[in-house]
Protein backbone atom coordinates (compact mmCIF):
# COMPACT_ATOMS: atom_id res chain seq x y z
CA UNK A 1 0.00 0.00 0.00
CA UNK A 2 1.47 3.31 -1.06
CA UNK A 3 2.56 5.90 1.43
CA UNK A 4 1.08 9.22 0.30
CA UNK A 5 3.14 12.33 0.99
CA UNK A 6 2.06 15.91 0.30
CA UNK A 7 5.03 18.17 -0.45
CA UNK A 8 3.72 21.43 0.94
CA UNK A 9 4.70 24.91 2.03
CA UNK A 10 2.47 27.92 1.42
CA UNK A 11 5.61 29.96 0.80
CA UNK A 12 6.51 30.12 -2.89
CA UNK A 13 9.81 29.08 -4.42
CA UNK A 14 11.14 26.99 -1.53
CA UNK A 15 11.83 23.87 -3.62
CA UNK A 16 8.55 21.91 -3.44
CA UNK A 17 8.49 21.00 -7.13
CA UNK A 18 12.23 20.37 -7.32
CA UNK A 19 11.86 18.03 -4.35
CA UNK A 20 8.90 16.19 -5.90
CA UNK A 21 10.62 15.52 -9.21
CA UNK A 22 14.00 14.57 -7.80
CA UNK A 23 12.71 12.57 -4.87
CA UNK A 24 10.34 10.69 -7.21
CA UNK A 25 13.20 9.84 -9.60
CA UNK A 26 15.48 8.86 -6.71
CA UNK A 27 12.84 6.54 -5.25
CA UNK A 28 12.48 4.96 -8.70
CA UNK A 29 16.26 4.47 -8.73
CA UNK A 30 15.84 2.40 -5.56
CA UNK A 31 13.25 0.26 -7.35
CA UNK A 32 10.16 1.82 -5.77
CA UNK A 33 6.96 2.29 -7.74
CA UNK A 34 6.14 5.99 -7.71
CA UNK A 35 3.25 8.22 -8.74
CA UNK A 36 3.75 11.99 -8.79
CA UNK A 37 0.65 14.17 -8.68
CA UNK A 38 0.94 17.74 -9.89
CA UNK A 39 -1.64 19.67 -7.88
CA UNK A 40 -0.43 23.12 -8.89
CA UNK A 41 -2.02 25.09 -11.77
CA UNK A 42 1.50 26.34 -12.62
CA UNK A 43 2.14 22.82 -13.96
CA UNK A 44 5.83 22.99 -13.08
CA UNK A 45 6.06 19.37 -11.97
CA UNK A 46 4.39 18.37 -15.24
CA UNK A 47 6.87 20.28 -17.43
CA UNK A 48 9.81 19.21 -15.25
CA UNK A 49 8.75 15.60 -15.78
CA UNK A 50 8.99 16.06 -19.55
CA UNK A 51 5.23 16.28 -20.21
CA UNK A 52 3.88 19.27 -22.13
CA UNK A 53 1.25 20.97 -19.95
CA UNK A 54 -0.20 22.72 -23.02
CA UNK A 55 -1.05 19.45 -24.74
CA UNK A 56 -2.94 17.50 -22.08
CA UNK A 57 -5.97 15.49 -23.05
CA UNK A 58 -6.84 14.91 -19.41
CA UNK A 59 -5.39 16.36 -16.26
CA UNK A 60 -5.81 16.15 -12.50
CA UNK A 61 -8.56 18.75 -12.89
CA UNK A 62 -10.76 16.26 -14.78
CA UNK A 63 -10.10 13.68 -12.09
CA UNK A 64 -11.07 16.05 -9.25
CA UNK A 65 -14.34 17.08 -10.85
CA UNK A 66 -15.17 13.50 -11.84
CA UNK A 67 -14.82 13.97 -15.60
CA UNK A 68 -12.41 11.08 -16.01
CA UNK A 69 -10.77 8.47 -13.87
CA UNK A 70 -7.28 8.74 -12.58
CA UNK A 71 -5.76 6.10 -14.82
CA UNK A 72 -7.05 7.86 -17.95
CA UNK A 73 -5.23 11.05 -16.97
CA UNK A 74 -1.94 9.38 -16.08
CA UNK A 75 1.21 9.73 -18.15
CA UNK A 76 4.64 8.16 -17.84
CA UNK A 77 7.67 10.37 -17.24
CA UNK A 78 10.27 8.75 -19.43
CA UNK A 79 13.32 10.31 -17.84
CA UNK A 80 11.92 10.16 -14.33
CA UNK A 81 10.67 6.58 -14.57
CA UNK A 82 7.53 7.39 -12.57
CA UNK A 83 3.86 7.85 -13.40
CA UNK A 84 2.56 11.41 -13.46
CA UNK A 85 -0.86 12.94 -12.99
CA UNK A 86 -0.33 16.20 -14.86
CA UNK A 87 -1.78 19.67 -14.30
CA UNK A 88 -2.09 22.99 -16.09
CA UNK A 89 -3.97 26.27 -15.73
CA UNK A 90 -7.30 24.45 -15.98
CA UNK A 91 -6.74 23.57 -12.36
CA UNK A 92 -7.38 27.17 -11.24
CA UNK A 93 -11.04 26.49 -12.01
CA UNK A 94 -11.01 23.59 -9.54
CA UNK A 95 -11.12 25.94 -6.55
CA UNK A 96 -14.55 27.17 -7.59
CA UNK A 97 -15.83 23.87 -9.02
CA UNK A 98 -14.92 22.05 -5.81
CA UNK A 99 -16.84 24.50 -3.64
CA UNK A 100 -20.08 23.25 -5.12
CA UNK A 101 -19.26 19.59 -4.61
CA UNK A 102 -20.03 17.20 -1.79
CA UNK A 103 -17.03 16.01 0.22
CA UNK A 104 -15.02 18.74 -1.50
CA UNK A 105 -12.01 18.25 0.76
CA UNK A 106 -11.81 14.52 0.09
CA UNK A 107 -12.05 14.32 -3.70
CA UNK A 108 -8.38 13.44 -4.17
CA UNK A 109 -8.39 10.93 -1.33
CA UNK A 110 -11.29 9.02 -2.89
CA UNK A 111 -9.78 9.19 -6.36
CA UNK A 112 -6.55 7.65 -5.04
CA UNK A 113 -8.13 4.86 -3.02
CA UNK A 114 -8.44 2.29 -5.85
CA UNK A 115 -4.84 2.70 -7.07
CA UNK A 116 -2.95 3.05 -3.79
CA UNK A 117 -1.91 -0.56 -3.79
CA UNK A 118 -0.19 -0.21 -7.17
CA UNK A 119 2.51 2.09 -5.77
CA UNK A 120 5.06 2.30 -3.00
CA UNK A 121 5.03 6.09 -2.86
CA UNK A 122 2.63 8.76 -4.07
CA UNK A 123 4.03 12.32 -3.93
CA UNK A 124 1.74 15.35 -4.29
CA UNK A 125 3.21 18.67 -5.43
CA UNK A 126 1.14 21.39 -3.73
CA UNK A 127 0.65 25.00 -4.89
CA UNK A 128 2.10 27.82 -2.77
CA UNK A 129 -1.13 28.50 -0.87
CA UNK A 130 -3.28 26.92 1.81
CA UNK A 131 -6.06 26.56 -0.73
CA UNK A 132 -8.75 23.93 -1.36
CA UNK A 133 -6.23 22.12 -3.55
CA UNK A 134 -3.70 21.93 -0.73
CA UNK A 135 -6.46 20.83 1.65
CA UNK A 136 -7.28 17.99 -0.77
CA UNK A 137 -3.62 16.98 -0.71
CA UNK A 138 -3.49 17.06 3.11
CA UNK A 139 -6.68 15.01 3.40
CA UNK A 140 -5.32 12.43 0.92
CA UNK A 141 -1.89 12.19 2.58
CA UNK A 142 -0.38 10.09 5.34
CA UNK A 143 2.32 12.66 5.87
CA UNK A 144 3.55 16.10 4.87
CA UNK A 145 7.07 16.78 3.70
CA UNK A 146 7.91 20.46 4.17
CA UNK A 147 10.76 21.86 2.08
CA UNK A 148 12.10 25.13 3.46
CA UNK A 149 14.91 27.57 3.12
CA UNK A 150 16.71 28.47 6.32
CA UNK A 151 15.71 32.14 6.29
CA UNK A 152 14.54 34.55 8.91
CA UNK A 153 10.84 34.41 8.04
CA UNK A 154 10.82 30.67 7.41
CA UNK A 155 10.04 29.78 11.02
CA UNK A 156 7.05 32.11 11.14
CA UNK A 157 5.62 30.56 7.97
CA UNK A 158 6.33 27.13 9.37
CA UNK A 159 4.21 27.69 12.45
CA UNK A 160 1.24 28.75 10.27
CA UNK A 161 1.65 25.58 8.23
CA UNK A 162 1.98 23.37 11.31
CA UNK A 163 -1.24 24.92 12.72
CA UNK A 164 -3.07 24.21 9.47
CA UNK A 165 -1.82 20.63 9.43
CA UNK A 166 -3.01 20.17 13.01
CA UNK A 167 -6.42 21.59 12.14
CA UNK A 168 -6.82 19.28 9.16
CA UNK A 169 -5.70 16.34 11.31
CA UNK A 170 -8.38 17.18 13.89
CA UNK A 171 -11.20 17.77 11.44
CA UNK A 172 -10.60 15.62 8.39
CA UNK A 173 -7.62 13.28 8.54
CA UNK A 174 -6.68 12.03 12.01
CA UNK A 175 -3.70 10.02 10.76
CA UNK A 176 -1.97 13.02 9.12
CA UNK A 177 1.59 13.56 10.36
CA UNK A 178 4.48 15.82 9.60
CA UNK A 179 6.65 13.27 7.85
CA UNK A 180 9.72 15.42 7.44
CA UNK A 181 11.26 18.87 7.25
CA UNK A 182 13.74 19.33 4.45
CA UNK A 183 16.30 22.12 4.30
CA UNK A 184 16.63 23.24 0.67
CA UNK A 185 19.07 25.58 -1.12
CA UNK A 186 21.22 25.04 1.92
CA UNK A 187 24.35 27.13 2.35
CA UNK A 188 26.20 26.57 5.66
CA UNK A 189 28.45 29.57 5.00
CA UNK A 190 25.55 31.82 5.89
CA UNK A 191 25.33 32.18 9.65
CA UNK A 192 21.56 32.68 9.61
CA UNK A 193 21.27 29.25 7.98
CA UNK A 194 22.97 27.71 10.98
CA UNK A 195 20.79 29.63 13.46
CA UNK A 196 17.57 28.57 11.75
CA UNK A 197 18.89 25.04 11.40
CA UNK A 198 19.59 24.86 15.13
CA UNK A 199 16.06 26.01 15.92
CA UNK A 200 14.57 23.42 13.59
CA UNK A 201 16.62 20.72 15.29
CA UNK A 202 15.37 21.85 18.66
CA UNK A 203 11.67 22.04 17.74
CA UNK A 204 11.43 19.14 15.27
CA UNK A 205 14.15 16.67 16.31
CA UNK A 206 12.30 13.66 14.92
CA UNK A 207 11.08 15.22 11.71
CA UNK A 208 14.11 17.17 10.49
CA UNK A 209 15.93 15.22 7.76
CA UNK A 210 19.66 14.92 8.27
CA UNK A 211 20.04 15.19 4.52
CA UNK A 212 20.22 18.78 3.31
CA UNK A 213 19.78 19.88 -0.30
CA UNK A 214 22.57 22.27 -1.35
CA UNK A 215 22.07 25.17 -3.71
CA UNK A 216 23.09 23.56 -6.99
CA UNK A 217 22.69 24.99 -10.47
CA UNK A 218 22.09 21.55 -12.01
CA UNK A 219 18.86 21.27 -10.01
CA UNK A 220 17.69 24.56 -11.51
CA UNK A 221 18.72 23.63 -15.07
CA UNK A 222 17.34 20.08 -15.27
CA UNK A 223 13.58 20.94 -15.42
CA UNK A 224 13.95 22.88 -18.65
CA UNK A 225 15.05 19.58 -20.21
CA UNK A 226 12.15 17.72 -18.61
CA UNK A 227 14.56 15.68 -16.53
CA UNK A 228 15.42 15.02 -12.90
CA UNK A 229 19.00 15.99 -11.97
CA UNK A 230 19.76 12.29 -11.67
CA UNK A 231 19.45 11.94 -15.44
CA UNK A 232 20.64 15.42 -16.42
CA UNK A 233 23.86 15.16 -14.41
CA UNK A 234 24.01 12.22 -12.07
CA UNK A 235 27.31 13.30 -10.52
CA UNK A 236 25.92 16.68 -9.48
CA UNK A 237 25.67 17.53 -5.79
CA UNK A 238 21.96 18.09 -6.22
CA UNK A 239 21.34 14.65 -7.69
CA UNK A 240 23.42 12.99 -4.99
CA UNK A 241 21.61 14.90 -2.22
CA UNK A 242 18.18 13.78 -3.45
CA UNK A 243 19.40 10.17 -3.66
CA UNK A 244 20.51 10.51 -0.05
CA UNK A 245 17.11 11.93 0.87
CA UNK A 246 15.34 8.97 -0.75
CA UNK A 247 17.60 6.64 1.25
CA UNK A 248 16.84 8.45 4.50
CA UNK A 249 13.11 8.45 3.80
CA UNK A 250 13.04 4.72 3.03
CA UNK A 251 15.14 3.89 6.11
CA UNK A 252 12.81 5.90 8.32
CA UNK A 253 9.84 4.00 6.95
CA UNK A 254 11.54 0.68 7.41
CA UNK A 255 12.61 1.39 10.94
CA UNK A 256 9.11 2.61 11.70
CA UNK A 257 11.04 4.87 14.01
CA UNK A 258 9.01 7.88 13.10
CA UNK A 259 6.18 7.95 15.56
CA UNK A 260 5.85 11.64 16.38
CA UNK A 261 2.52 13.14 15.46
CA UNK A 262 1.90 16.53 13.93
N1 LIG B 1 18.62 23.24 -4.37
C2 LIG B 1 18.45 24.14 -5.35
N3 LIG B 1 19.52 24.75 -5.92
C4 LIG B 1 19.36 25.68 -6.88
N5 LIG B 1 18.17 26.05 -7.37
C6 LIG B 1 17.06 25.49 -6.85
C7 LIG B 1 17.15 24.50 -5.83
N8 LIG B 1 15.88 24.10 -5.50
C9 LIG B 1 15.07 24.81 -6.31
N10 LIG B 1 15.75 25.64 -7.11
C11 LIG B 1 15.21 26.61 -8.08
O12 LIG B 1 14.47 27.57 -7.34
C13 LIG B 1 13.25 27.89 -7.99
C14 LIG B 1 12.07 27.50 -7.10
O15 LIG B 1 12.09 26.08 -6.91
P16 LIG B 1 10.76 25.22 -7.02
O17 LIG B 1 10.01 25.56 -8.26
O18 LIG B 1 11.12 23.82 -6.78
O19 LIG B 1 9.99 25.80 -5.76
P20 LIG B 1 8.43 25.66 -5.40
O21 LIG B 1 8.35 25.69 -3.92
O22 LIG B 1 7.86 24.49 -6.09
O23 LIG B 1 7.85 26.99 -6.05
P24 LIG B 1 6.27 27.36 -6.15
O25 LIG B 1 5.88 27.75 -4.78
O26 LIG B 1 6.22 28.48 -7.15
O27 LIG B 1 5.57 26.14 -6.64
C28 LIG B 1 13.27 27.13 -9.31
O29 LIG B 1 13.78 27.97 -10.29
C30 LIG B 1 14.23 25.98 -9.04
O31 LIG B 1 14.86 25.52 -10.22
MG1 LIG C 1 6.15 24.37 -7.35
What is the full DSSP assignment across 1-68?
A: --EEEEE--SSTTSSHHHHHHHHHHHHHHTT--EEEEE--TT-HHHHHTT--GGG-SS-HHHHHTTSS
Interval 138-165: pLDDT, tens = 999 999 999 999 988 888 889 999 999 9
Which amino acid residue places its CA nearest to atom 20 of ligand 1? 13
The residues spanned by each domain of the chain are 3-261
Q: What are phi and psi of 4, to 5 degrees?
A: -110, 120
Average pLDDT, the chain: 95
- CA-128 nearest atom, ligand 1: 25
CA distance 29 to 82: 10
Q: What superfamily would CATH give domain 3-261?
A: P-loop containing nucleotide triphosphate hydrolases (3.40.50.300)
- pTM of structure: 0.96
How large is the average pLDDT for residues 104-121?
A: 97
244's CB contacts (< 8 A; 6+ apart) are 211
Pairing of strands 83-85, 75-76: antiparallel
Q: 36 - beta bridge partners?
A: 84, 123
CA distance 237 to 229: 9
Percent of the chain with pLDDT over 90: 89
Ligand lying nearest the CA atom of residue 229: 1
Per-residue pLDDT at 41: 97
Q: Are 16 and 127 in contact (CB under 8 A)?
A: no
Interval 74-108: pLDDT, tens = 999 999 999 999 999 999 999 899 988 989 999 99
> 39 in ligand 1 pocket by Cβ < 6 Å?
no
CA 47 / ligand 2 centre spacing (Å): 11
Amino acid sequence: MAKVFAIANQKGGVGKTTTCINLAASLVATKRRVLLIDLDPQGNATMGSGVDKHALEHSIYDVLIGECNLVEAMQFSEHGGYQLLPANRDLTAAEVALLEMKMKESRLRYALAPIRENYDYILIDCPPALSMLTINALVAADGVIIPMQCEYYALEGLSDLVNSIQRIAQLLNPSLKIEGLLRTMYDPRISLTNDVSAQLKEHFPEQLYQTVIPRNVRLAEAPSFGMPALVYDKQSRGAIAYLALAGELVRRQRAGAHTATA
